[in-house]
Amino acid sequence: MDNSSKVAVITGGNAGIGLTVAERLLTEHPGLRLCLACRNKTRAQAALDALQLSHPTAHISIVIVDTSNIKSVYNAVTEIKQMYSHIDYIYLNAGIMQVVGVDWNYFWKTLFTKNFIHMFTTGDGLLKEQEEITEENLEKVFTTNVFGHFVLIKELESVLINGTRPCQIIWTSSSNAQKHHFSLDNIQHRNERGGHYSSSKYSTDLLSLALNERLNNKGVYSHVTCPGLVMTNLTFGILPSWFWNLILPIFWLLRIFVPTMNYDTYNGSEALVWLSKQKPESLDPMCKYVSHCNFMGKRYVHQDKLKIDQEDANQLYDQLNTLEKKFHQKYKS
């Protein structure tokens, strides 16, 4: 095993924001060894081929992981541990949103009120979602976005901790993370009408804080990012791509008020890549690092103070830990 060069693992690294982060990290950190942790072999191989074209000497590998399936996460951990003795950056980026429609009534009602900036920044109240339960009897958005990643981090702990080099855990959270959609009495957000995605991203923010409390003294640092609104398969699942292309000029205008209207993945990945170039000890665990792009097209990183509570974070951590133990017993003993 080559221990000298840096290693980055990216979940959902085959498409959208994850793929752009992969591309930009290879440019920013020459010699970086990259692991695309993806659920689909063909799509992962296509991404690897594209990255290898622009970075012919880069060392890129694929690990198959479906974060909505805990058995698959355990299998992926075994593979990652065989490949790497230390991980410098782990991007917990894979994510889904199960949208079935837009509440246009709410959109028109809010457009000409003072709440319009909040609506365009967060999407809060605009999206209709549907629930799905996985074959392991877990809520799918919660498992894909949060629990699968929790298990990944927990099982990889020995590879993240290294006496001499720090490790950065970098989550792709969202402005859509809203406390009013989250409850410690129902962390999976089961049997609720909507708010599944928001609850999962709020959990992400809490979990990141809890991880810092547990792991900072071992050289592992966790931070949350927000890519803003970016055109990817996720947003094409909300409205068709032709619609988004049509309203591109509106995005430019909206940027005067809402600098998170990033549109492309390069703009959206700014905060995620910027974090990899910072000293992790100097970063604030109570901040969300947000990718901004102004009207003139200038990209920069904005820090938003997180409105979350350490006690909630610890309680969520404990609940995730208890849930993980059941799967550990089932699959690992």
Ligand X SMILES: CC(C)CCC[C@@H](C)[C@H]1CC[C@H]2C3=C(CC[C@]12C)[C@@]1(C)CCC(=O)C[C@@H]1CC3
Among 238, 283, 286, 287, binds ligand X (CB under 6 A): 238
Nearest to 148 by CA among 37, 268, 267: 37
Contact call for residues 90 and 70 (beta carbons, < 8 A):
no
CB 210 within 8 A of CB 164: no
| Residue 273 phi, psi dihedral angles, 5° rounding | -80, -40
Picked from ligand NDP, ligand X, none, the partner binding residue 123 (CB below 5 to 8 A depending on kind) is: ligand X
Active-site residue, from 74, 84, 197, 263: 197
**Interior angle at CA 128, CA 122 and CA 130, nearest 5:** 120
- Name residues contacting ligand X, limited to 59-98 (CB under 6 A): 97
Residue labelled with tokens 């080099």: 165
Burial per residue of 108-117, b for 16 or more beta-carbon CB atoms within 10 angstroms, e otherwise:
eebeeeeeee
CA of 270: how far to CAs of 18, 32, 322, in Å?
12, 18, 35
Position 176 contacts ligand X (CB under 6 A): yes
* Size of site (CB under 6 A) for ligand X: 17
Specify the residue, 65 or 99, whose C-beta has the smaller distance to ligand X. Answer: 99
Instruction: Retrieve residue 229's tokens.
Output: 């609104």
Task: Choose the one of ligand NDP, ligand X, none that binds residue 102, judging by a C-beta under 5 to 8 angstroms depending on kind.
Answer: ligand X
Q: Which is nearer to ligand X, 64 or 301 (CB)?
A: 301
- Quick check: is 197 catalytic? yes
Asked whether position 50 contacts ligand X by CB under 6 A, the answer is: no
Site track for ligand X across 95-134, x = CB under 6 A: --x----x----x------------x-xx--xx-------
Residues 6 or more apart whose Cβ sits within 8 Å of residue 193: none
Which residues would be at the binding site for ligand NDP (CB under 6 A)?
Answer: 11-12, 14-18, 38-40, 43, 65-68, 93-96, 144, 172, 174, 226-227, 229-230, 232-235
Residue placing its CB nearer to ligand X in the complex, 48 or 225? 225
Q: Are 72 and 66 in contact (CB under 8 A)?
A: yes
Provide the total of helices (H) and of strands (E) in the chain, helices listed first.
14, 10
Binding of ligand X by 229 (CB under 6 A): yes
- Is residue 247 within the footprint of ligand X (CB under 6 A)? yes
State in angstroms the smallest separation of the CB of 290 from ligand NDP.
Answer: 10
Q: How far apart are CA 259 and CA 298, in angstroms?
A: 10
Cα–Cα distance for residue pair 282/301, rounded to 1 Å: 15
39 binds, among ligand NDP, ligand X, none (CB under 5 to 8 A by kind): ligand NDP
C-beta of 87: minimal distance to ligand X in Å? 25
Of 54-62, 74-82, 173-181, 280-288, the segment contacting ligand X by CB under 6 A is: 173-181
Residues engaged in binding ligand X (CB under 6 A)? 97, 102, 107, 120, 122-123, 126-127, 174-176, 229, 235, 238-239, 247, 250
Active site residues: 197
